[in-house]
């Protein structure tokens, strides 16, 4: 028989077993040129498929247990960031325990977020998690909170300004007041939409200076019943813009650092 006929027989046998997974044509052709009986190929294929299914189930249980552990630290993960999911798969394949993997995940999430309030309303929590996943790929910014006020949506962000070069020789409050004296005019001068962002405070953490802002997120007008719709891509671009503007302030004002 030719290869097309061989493939047709294999696919027919799989359909009878209610298997609709796509066949790897390379492995199918190898079996054909090695004169492997179609029934034998199907048997081997089902064995591989069953093992993969079992592996997926074991990994999903592993991942579910990790997410439950991480939730105790204040993170309710609705969608795992792709990069973190790949890292977890590597840890799973390398034999790390769920507790070890959960500790790693918490450390990674801590870099880009402040712990979520477990008392958040469902809508707030949904928006929070969407933004949290988006921000995981942006350096020097952390999500503190979200604020939904009527038809307005705000993200409370902590954005890094710069790293301190030396130990502070004055009290932190006075130092940050001096930063604010120069930073507010800088933001007003360099940001087109002055109503979008509101500076709410400053912090010094591990020799880095951060600014906390309340950022208004542009909503998409929609005619359906869904409200509070916004573009993650556009919001990410806007946040990246502010991160770069704030970083430029630190670079241009080294005499303040």
Handedness of CA 213, 250, 185, 205 (dihedral sign): positive
Q: What is the pLDDT of residue 114?
A: 44
Helix extents (H) in 17-169:
25-33, 38-71, 82-93, 98-110, 122-135
Q: Buried (b) or exposed (e) across 213-228, using 16+ Cβ within 10 A?
A: bbbbbeeeeeeeeeee
Q: What is the pLDDT of residue 119?
A: 46
Cβ 227 vs Cβ 152: under 8 Å: no
CA distance 155 to 131: 8
Cβ 49 vs Cβ 21: under 8 Å: yes
Q: What is the pLDDT of residue 157?
A: 93
DSSP 256: G
Residues of the chain with pLDDT under 70: 17, 20-22, 46-56, 78-79, 110-124, 150, 169, 192-195, 220-228, 254-257
CA distance 117 to 23: 47
Q: What is the pLDDT of residue 122?
A: 47
Torsions phi, psi for 139 (to 5 deg): -80, 155
Is pTM beyond 0.75? Reply is: no
Domain ranges of the chain: 3-110, 122-256
How do strand 152-163 and strand 141-149 relate by DSSP bridges?
Answer: antiparallel
Q: Buried (b) or exposed (e) across 38-54, using 16+ Cβ within 10 A?
A: beebbeebeeeeeeeee
Q: Which residues, including other chains, have CB under 8 Å from residue 93's CB and lie 6 or more apart?
A: none
Q: What is the pLDDT of residue 158?
A: 92
Q: What is the pLDDT of residue 127?
A: 78
Q: Into which CATH architecture does domain 122-256 fall? A: 2-Layer Sandwich (3.30)
């Amino acid at each position: 028989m030719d290869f097309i006929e061989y493939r047709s027989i294999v696919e027919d046998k799989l359909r009878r077993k209610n298997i609709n997974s796509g066949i790897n044509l390379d492995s199918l052709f190898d079996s054909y040129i090695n004169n492997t009986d179609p029934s034998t190929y199907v048997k081997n294929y089902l064995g591989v498929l069953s093992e993969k299914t079992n592996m997926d189930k074991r990994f999903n249980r592993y991942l579910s247990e990790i997410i439950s552990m991480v939730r105790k630290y204040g993170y309710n993960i609705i969608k795992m960031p792709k990069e973190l999911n790949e890292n977890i798969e590597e840890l799973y394949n390398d034999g790390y325990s769920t507790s070890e993997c959960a500790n790693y995940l918490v450390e990674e999430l801590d870099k880009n977020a402040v712990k979520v309030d477990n008392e958040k309303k469902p809508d707030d929590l949904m928006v929070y998690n969407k933004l949290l996943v988006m921000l995981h790929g942006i350096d020097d910014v952390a999500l503190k909170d979200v604020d939904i006020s009527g038809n307005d949506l705000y993200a409370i962000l902590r954005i890094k300004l710069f790293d301190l070069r030396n130990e502070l020789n004055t009290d932190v409050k006075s130092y940050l007041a001096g930063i604010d004296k120069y930073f507010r005019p800088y933001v007003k001068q360099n940001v087109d939409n002055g109503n979008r962002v509101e500076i709410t405070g400053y912090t010094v953490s591990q020799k880095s200076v951060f600014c906390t802002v309340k950022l208004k997120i542009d909503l998409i007008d929609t005619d359906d019943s869904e409200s509070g719709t916004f573009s993650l891509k556009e919001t990410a671009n806007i946040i990246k813009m502010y991160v770069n503007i704030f970083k430029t302030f630190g670079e241009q004002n080294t005499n303040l650092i």
